[in-house]
Amino acid sequence: MPGTRKTAAKKAAPRKAASRTAHPAPDAPAGGPAATPEAEANRFDLLSVLDTESLEPIQATFRGIDVDIRRSFTGEEAVRFMAHVAATRLDAALEIIVGEVASELLQALAELSVTHCSALLNKVFEMSGLTEGEIVAPLPASYTGMAGAQP
């Protein structure tokens, strides 16, 4: 086009990032990153923040099923519990809290309405100390196998 000026695009030189060198920690031996047993013993385990208090189980019953609701969990158990809840694997989450009786308890809970079932699960989860408030929404009809539910 007349009146426009073509300019050559300047090509910028590629920038080189300054090389970084790793500096060993002051207490790390010169031979590698392996820490001494004393240093390992002094390391704080962040997962321990999720540990719950060491409390006695609460004894409960539901339609003749005796349940001991645990109230003492490690951080690892708390993480597994929340992963099961997030994936809607409530049977596995409940098993962490009540043990082997979980499947029998869930079978009895399945006879209730979806609203009542989720209310009771929320209560057990809250009593365990792993949650506060309600974390289980009313379950879909397919979870309890209600009539008309899609498999």
pLDDT tens digits for range 59-80: 999 999 999 999 999 999 999 9
Helix, coil or strand: residue 30: coil
Output the six-digit token pair for 149.
């539910």
Q: How far apart are CA 11 and CA 8, in angstroms?
A: 9
pLDDT tens digits for range 101-144: 999 999 999 899 988 998 999 999 999 999 887 777 765 555 54
